Amino acid sequence: MEIRNKRLTDDEFYEIRKTVLNQWPTGKDVDLEEAFAFHKSLPDSKIFSKKLNEAKANRITLVQPRAGVALVQKHIELLTYLQDKGGADLLPTTIDSYTRQNRYKEAEIGIEESVKTGKSMLNGFPAVNHGVAAVRQVVNSIDVPLQIRHGTPDARLLTEIVFAGGYTSYEGGGISYNIPYAKSVPLERTIADWQYCDRLTGIYEEAGISINREPYGPLTGTLVPPSISHAVAIIEALLAAEQGVKNITVGYGQCGNLIQDVAAIHTLESLTEEYLHKYGYNDVVVTTVLHQWMGGFPQDEAQAFGVISWGSAAAALSHATKVIVKTPHEAMGVPTAEANAQGLRCTKQVISMLRDQSVDENSLKEEKEIIIAETKCLLNKCFELGNGDIALGTVRAFQAGVLDIPFAPSRYNAGQMLPVRDNNGAVRILTMGNLPFTKELIDFNHGKIDERAKFEKRKASFQMAIDDVYAISKGRLVGRPRG
Amino acid sequence: MEIRNKRLTDDEFYEIRKTVLNQWPTGKDVDLEEAFAFHKSLPDSKIFSKKLNEAKANRITLVQPRAGVALVQKHIELLTYLQDKGGADLLPTTIDSYTRQNRYKEAEIGIEESVKTGKSMLNGFPAVNHGVAAVRQVVNSIDVPLQIRHGTPDARLLTEIVFAGGYTSYEGGGISYNIPYAKSVPLERTIADWQYCDRLTGIYEEAGISINREPYGPLTGTLVPPSISHAVAIIEALLAAEQGVKNITVGYGQCGNLIQDVAAIHTLESLTEEYLHKYGYNDVVVTTVLHQWMGGFPQDEAQAFGVISWGSAAAALSHATKVIVKTPHEAMGVPTAEANAQGLRCTKQVISMLRDQSVDENSLKEEKEIIIAETKCLLNKCFELGNGDIALGTVRAFQAGVLDIPFAPSRYNAGQMLPVRDNNGAVRILTMGNLPFTKELIDFNHGKIDERAKFEKRKASFQMAIDDVYAISKGRLVGRPRG
Amino acid sequence: MEKKTLVMGVIGADVHAVGNKILYHAFTAAGFNCVNLGVMVSQEEYINAAIESNADVIVVSSLYGHGELDCRGMREKCDEAGLKGILLYVGGNIVVGKQPFDEVEKRFKEMGFDRVFGPGTPPETTIAALYEDLGVQPPEETEE
Amino acid sequence: MEKKTLVMGVIGADVHAVGNKILYHAFTAAGFNCVNLGVMVSQEEYINAAIESNADVIVVSSLYGHGELDCRGMREKCDEAGLKGILLYVGGNIVVGKQPFDEVEKRFKEMGFDRVFGPGTPPETTIAALYEDLGVQPPEETEE
Ligand code: B12
Ligand code: B12
């Protein structure tokens, strides 16, 4: 059956649900009614959507780290530390990579090894293996709202377990947790699986429990032009809304040019709202998240603080609803609690110093127009390809290279498009592949890149893109030729 | 004799010089001709003015730390570390506080104690006590240009010794090294003593050795409105130019609001050039320096990195010729070499990430107009009070409170003016004292402050200023009421 | 309440004026009679002012790093001047560089200071200590 | 020059594709015959590809932190498959967290890897090591 952007019927949903809950023994502990009751017992201060809505109303930017370790107690200690010593407004539970691939047996080995060696041998928290009761232990121990962050193509069981466990926010989506996170999972599959996750969110919503959903914005985190990630975010917002999701945070990974970044956050919010309304979803609250630079970091911690701060500045000046924080250990490995808290404190300092400042609207005008025009080209073509259905259109768009994410591992991504920075560090598109841009937009991109090529006295090429990939880790934004 | 902005005659200069070189035994080792020869032997790469001119031409921002310890070898080690591990483009030698007060005997005790305890018991390098040969050891050991940074009201002997020692840049001025750095030294005295230092610079210049001079921009470093520090910087530039100085770096201490900071650096350069030309000094090269936040810092190092980065961003986006760097130890004490290098690397990361970005001119317009209008009010009144002579006018302006520096220790400063931040964090003036502003400018300042007062639902007052003094150290820019 | 008198200032060649101005404001609001000597105060000046004003306590600030050199012998000079047992406080950035505070405290206590405070100590802390050591209460109305 | 063949890929459940794409580009430009398996490569896939292509070296990348779990037993599997003595390189962010590199290197060498590289090792370093270990020279014309 071909994929459609259509709400799953109860019959469809509960039919699938039987097999989902059987994927791993812990699935049997999930009981919806009892889970609703648990959620209703939570104080407002632990509810993600409430805190986001409040932040949006007050135009402040909340800070949230990434964090997750193998064992429950250690994970609670870690989160408590980040809450108390880092001042995190929101906390995550990052899931390990085996769980993300539904390799629960390997996750089990990781847990055992972690117990044995006394250090986390997993790069995240294996929530499925731990099960509902353990997840609730985390929720009960922490004072601020909690979100699951992962990168799981088939996250259905995970969603069931952590929702039942009391998590009030959940990252991911059928595109954003496939193309950057998988090699050979068909897009129809992940979109369908994420319809399940979204429908489950809708079911909670209908029971009076508003769980926040966050399409994963930064994709590969590596020179992704705003219009590309905007298109994906908006599609996932539409898919989620169709399943009954009412509280959505759309995301964007900082590119590094301030004007482009601020314009990106502003247009991300306005375009998402525009498309939601256009397609009849009128009661969804949209908030935004900026991810501090998601590409390669400098190894030196002092330099890393510089990168972290610049991401914080972009978040504050664009008044994103929240910012996801990197740490001074980023280039080296999963951070210690201490390093993670340092990233948070550095970020909070910058965010709160800048909260009363903004970027002049006039200076954003051109960049906003470009992002809007590009994003609309992409989305309109997707709808066209799907004969009006965005789920179908998305699958066909990826096949056609109409949606194309740079440096992605998935074989369902064309990988024809090549981005490079322009002379001011904004990310532009050198090789269009099959992006359905107008001539004006193509000319604009190439004109900007030409300026740089002239300045650097070299041709724009794959080598230029490589230089840009390394640039920030080597202390620059634009990867100028050496020597 | 009343002070005049008039070049010292050779007779006057060499007459004074006799007593200056006798202030401490090391004075006798200064020999001008031999010093010229030493300077001429220096490679271009060690000459401050050359490096600055080049940076100005290329619109890049150089980074420079503060640093100085009691003993020569330790000082060389420190600077070498900052050069090699910090990547400093320019290096300083910060002079200790006893030397700044000409208390050479106490400095001598500090040196002895430092030898005994094995740690620097002085907060800087006592160059006068060490003498010319030791200073040259430093110059010979370091590859980048060197500057003396101090805060010395009567710096004549120090100037003689370090110029003879081969330093190619020198900070300070008759106002900026008096009012924030002394309690009871008359302004006539310090202006006259700095005319000596400037004339000495002029004499080197005439011998073909261009030594860079830098009026000290940030003054008390605490909520100094741009127009106040601009007025002082421009006066000191005029005083220096009259004595034959040809390479001047005017400075400004970051206030924290990006628009105000960028507007400040731009207007500082243009106004200085304007006034120099207006008064007939047509061959002076003017460059700019932004000092990262000079007021109280947060104690936490991660937060301090946030403050450092924001200062770096202001420097880069305003294309200041150089930036003076703080360290993560700022709130605690004189930094270790390691902490100092961290500040440098963090700064370099931000500076070079942002070097290809600027702030939109349009958004700077209002703020530039205000700074220019305020600065001209101040300067024109100074000229008026001095019957056209800026040296005399300056002395009278301070007497009258026409120039008034907040939180200054000097009894020759009126201390009537009180600054507070506005609702966007820009520094404005609440209590004018005797500042000669037009009604429009007063209304502008008060209007901005009223906005904030309304927002905070309290009256603007000394308490508001106190809250602003503490704000950055407590993680904010604007000192909002607690609770 | 009988007003207690304190002599305050920044010692040595130190010109850090900001904290001094704020402390003066805070101490006055807290009900003390303050003789503020400002910056660059010598040991003799503190002592003379304390004798003249019949002070209960001398509050020494040092920010610039030379505190250790500047404060030596202060207790002895007080004793000689007849200020035996007068309360001596010191605070600020009293040594050069970031040093472990307990060691610093120890050295200054050995020099005869009754209380030693680390970098960035808020006025409220200092005032609470003064109330305690002088056995007085906050004034009824504080400027808030 | 006879072209040496290398098999490369990112091991385990790891999807970090950026470095892999760039390494492929760099190795090819440096004159190697590259079989790039991309991301999410199992030990078996490396070994099969190495047998098929008669490879001289297997270059394992691991970025995501599970390298230690994923790489265990790889040398033994190579031996069993008849790839005795084949060069084994591993690099990337091969363990969880920031750990002292010499300890990490030791553990991976004990697992049978010939060369172990830390985070952010530039392609040039890897290529230099390959030239050395395989006794070959850079191609005359490199893409510069
Ligand atoms: C971009 C990125 C991502 C992107 C990847 C997109 C994609 N599909 O490629 C996204 C956002 C999807 C992602 C996801 C995850 N990531 Co990630 N990611 C990064 C990041 C920021 C940059 C990686 C990169 O592209 N660098 C640029 C390229 C050019 O460099 P490189 O990858 O290091 O490769 C070079 C060298 O290492 C070397 N090299 C590589 N292999 C080999 C082999 C040999 C033999 C030699 C000699 C050299 C060598 O040459 C390469 C070319 O120069 C790094 C941190 C960093 N480095 O700053 C984290 C990082 C690698 N990720 C990490 C983690 C944990 C994850 C996640 C689990 C999620 C999470 N917790 O946040 C998931 C894992 C998903 C999975 N199953 O793999 C951790 C790994 C932790 C550890 N080892 O302790 C890192 C270090 C971040 C951190 N500090 O926590 N990530
Ligand atoms: C602003 C500033 C300046 C301004 C001062 C302007 C002026 N005239 O007031 C200028 C730029 C001129 C300056 C000059 C110098 N400074 Co300065 N300065 C600072 C800075 C950034 C803030 C100080 C401040 O105003 N804070 C705000 C006020 C409200 O706080 P406070 O001063 O700490 O005072 C509060 C508390 O400490 C406490 N307190 C104070 N005294 C006492 C006493 C007691 C008993 C108690 C309980 C509490 C207490 O209450 C006060 C009110 O809340 C500090 C670093 C920092 N803190 O971030 C460096 C700092 C104090 N300066 C320092 C130095 C070395 C100097 C210089 C030698 C130059 C140099 N090397 O850069 C010169 C010295 C000149 C001289 N002769 O004194 C060092 C001291 C190093 C050390 N102790 O190891 C510091 C720590 C910076 C550093 N890390 O290197 N400085």
CA C24 to chain B, closest CA, distance in angstroms equals 12
Token pair 């002579």 is found at B389
Identify whether residues B162 and B240 lie together within a single domain.
yes
| pLDDT at residue B351 is higher than 60 | yes
Asked if pLDDT for residue D144 goes beyond 60, the answer is no
**pLDDT score of D98:** 87
Instruction: Tell me if A319 is assigned to some domain.
Output: yes
Partners of residue B302 in chain A, C-beta under 8 Å? 305, 328, 341-346, 349
Instruction: Give the ipTM of the model, two decimals please.
Output: 0.96
Mean local confidence (pLDDT), C90-104: 93
Can you name the residues that pair with A212 across neighbouring β-strands?
A169
**Cβ distance of B98 and C13 shorter than 8 Å:** yes
A224 & A82 share domain:
yes
Query: Closest Cα to residue A166, out of A285, A27, A47, A14?
Result: A47
Domain annotation covers residue A436: yes
Q: Which residues of C touch B100 (CB under 8 A)?
A: 13
Kindly report, residue by residue over D36-67, the tens digit of the pLDDT. 999 999 999 999 999 999 999 999 999 999 89
pLDDT of residue C143: 46
Closest ligand relative to B300 C-alpha: 2
H helix runs in B68-155, sequence order? 72-84, 97-100, 104-117, 127-141
Over 90: is that where the pLDDT of C2 sits? no
If you search the block for the tokens 């209908």, which residue do you land on? A206
Query: Is the residue at B406 inside a domain?
Result: no
* For range C104-130, the mean pLDDT: 95
- In our burial notation (b when 16+ CB lie closer than 10 A, e otherwise), range A242-273 reads bbbbbbbbbbbbbbbbbbbbbbbbbbbbebbb
- pLDDT per residue as tens digits for the range B364-421: 999 999 999 999 999 999 999 999 999 999 999 999 999 999 999 999 999 999 999 9
Distance from CA of A388 to the nearest CA of D (A): 33
- The three-point CA angle A357-A358-A364 to 5° equals 165
Mean pLDDT of chain D: 93
Among residues B354, B384, B406, the one where a domain terminates is B354
Domain boundary among A354, A371, A396: A354
Domain identity same for B432 and B339:
no
Q: Mean pLDDT across the stretch C54-81?
A: 96
* Percentage of the residues of chain B whose pLDDT score is greater than 70: 100
Share of chain D above pLDDT 90, in %: 88
Tell me, what's the pLDDT at B483? 58
Residue C58 counted as domain residue: yes
Q: What is the CATH number of the domain that holds A343?
A: 3.20.20.240
User: Does C62 reside within a domain?
Assistant: yes
Q: Tell me which residue has its CA closest to atom 2 in ligand 2.
A: B295
Is residue C134 a part of any domain in this protein?
no
Residue D132, phi-psi category: left (phi > 0), alpha (psi -120 to 50), beta (remainder): alpha
Range of the domain at A212: 10-354
Res D143 pLDDT > 50:
no
Residue C14 lies in a domain: no
Is the residue at A372 inside a domain?
Answer: no
Q: Give domain status of residue C83, yes or no.
A: yes
A295 Cβ inside 6 Å of ligand 1: yes
- Cα–Cα distance measured from residue B420 to residue B401, given in angstroms and rounded to the nearest whole number: 18
Say how far apart CA D114 and CA D128 lie, in whole Å.
14
All residues at 6 or more sequence positions from A246 whose CB lies less than 8 Å from its CB, including other chains: A205, A210, A283, A284, A285
Chain B: partners with 3+ C-beta pairs within 8 Å? A, C
Ligand 2 centroid distance, CA of B296 (Å)? 8
In contact, D18 and A222? CB cutoff 8 Å: yes
Q: Are residues B329 and B426 in the same domain?
A: no
Query: Is the Cβ pair D96, A100 closer than 8 Å?
Result: no
Q: Determine the residue among B123, B340, B416, B468 to mutate to test chain C binding: the one whose Cβ has the most chain C Cβ atoms within 10 Å.
A: B123
The answer to whether residue D140 is domain-embedded is no
Q: Is residue A230 part of a domain?
A: yes
Dihedral of the CA atoms C103, C108, C113, C116 (nearest 10)?
-50
Domain count, chain C: 1
- Among B339, B354, B369, the domain-final residue is B354
Does some domain include residue A374? no
- The boundaries of the domain holding residue D121 are 22-66+76-126
CB contact under 8 A, C120 and B101: no
Residues A105 and A243 in one domain: yes
Looking at the 3D structure of chain A, how many domains does it have?
Answer: 2
* Percent with pLDDT over 70 in chain C: 96
**Which ligand has the nearest atom to the CA of D21?**
1
**Residues of chain A scoring pLDDT < 50:** none
Tokens 């928290």: give the residue. A125
What CATH number did the domain enclosing A456 receive? 3.90.970.10
CA angle, B185 as apex, B182 and B191 as ends, to 5°? 100
Provide the percentage of residues in chain B whose pLDDT is more than 90: 99
Identify the residues whose C-beta falls under 6 Å from ligand 2: B 66, 94, 97, 100, 123-124, 151, 180-181, 220-222, 294-297, 329-331, 333-335, 407, 409, 469; C 13-19, 22-23, 59, 61, 63-65, 89-93, 96-97, 117, 120-123, 126
Mean pLDDT of C116-122: 94
Give the position, in ligand 2's atom list, of the atom nearest the Cα of C63.
Answer: 61
What residues are paired with D61 via a beta bridge?
Answer: D10, D91
Task: Please report the DSSP string for A393-406 in residue order.
Answer: HHHHHHHHTSS--T
Distance (Å, rounded) from C-alpha B159 to C-alpha B201? Answer: 9
Structure-block tokens of residue B232: 């002082």
Q: Is D4 within a domain? A: no
Tell me whether chains C and A touch (3+ CB pairs under 8 A): no
Q: In the prediction, which pLDDT does C144 show? A: 43
A346 with A199, same domain?
A: yes
Mark whether A327 and A441 lie in a shared domain.
no
- Note the pLDDT of residue B68: 97
DSSP-assigned beta bridge partners for residue A247: A285
Ligand 1 pocket check for D113: Cβ under 6 Å: no
User: Is A134 close to ligand 1, i.e. is its CB under 6 Å away?
Assistant: no
| Domain annotation covers residue B361 | no
A68/A169 same-domain check: yes
Task: Note whether residue D36 is domain-resident.
Answer: yes
From D61, D68, D75, select the one nearest D9 (Cα to Cα): D61
The verdict on a CB contact (< 8 Å) between C13 and B97 is: yes
Q: How much is the pLDDT for C18?
A: 97
pLDDT for residue C142 is more than 70: no
